Amino acid sequence: DVQMTQSPSYLAASPGESVSISCKASKSINTYLAWYQEKPGKTNKLLIYSGSTLQSGTPSRFSGSGSGTDFTLTIRSLEPEDFAVYYCQQHNEYPLTFGSGTKLEIK
């Protein structure tokens, strides 16, 4: 199985700041990485797939980059609604696997 290692597990920031979340795969997954946002009481929201393709409806302040084993989710100019838990997921091979999550909290 491809192991996905996310860091940091916890991140505190203020609205208006920019943050980055890292996701590393245990072997190359080409660019086949997705990012999700989890918020209480809401269904999980796909933000980005194939490394850098924004899902319809994802604000442009979100961006994804990387290939091979190293990937980054960047959120520019944080909005209050961005404080949530973020997960990466590789979609290169079965079994599909997720990272352990990053909780983004308001500082």
Partner 1 sequence: EVKLLESGGGLVQPGGSLRLSCAASGFTFTDFYMSWIRQPPGKAPEWLGVIRNKANGYTTEYNPSVKGRFTISRDNTQNILYLQMNTLRAEDTAIYYCARGHSGWFAYWGQGTLVTVSS
**Comparison of 80 and 95: residue with beta carbon closer to partner 1:** 95
Query: By CB under 8 A, what part of segment 46-85 binds partner 1?
Result: 46, 49-50, 55
Cα–Cα distance, 47 to 63 (Å, whole number)? 9
Cα–Cα distance, 14 to 25 (Å, whole number)? 29
The tokens for 65 are 């980059």
3 binds partner 1 (CB under 8 A): no
Nearest to 23 by CA among 15, 32, 106: 32
44 binds partner 1 (CB under 8 A): yes
Minimum distance, C-beta of residue 77 to partner 1, in the bound complex (Å): 25
92 binds partner 1 (CB under 8 A): yes
Phi-psi category of residue 9: left, alpha or beta, with phi > 0 → left and psi -120 to 50 → alpha: alpha
CB 68 within 8 A of CB 58: no
Minimum distance, C-beta of residue 78 to partner 1, in the bound complex (Å): 23
Residues that bind partner 1 (CB under 8 A): 1, 32, 34, 36, 43-44, 46, 49-50, 55, 87, 89, 91-92, 94-101
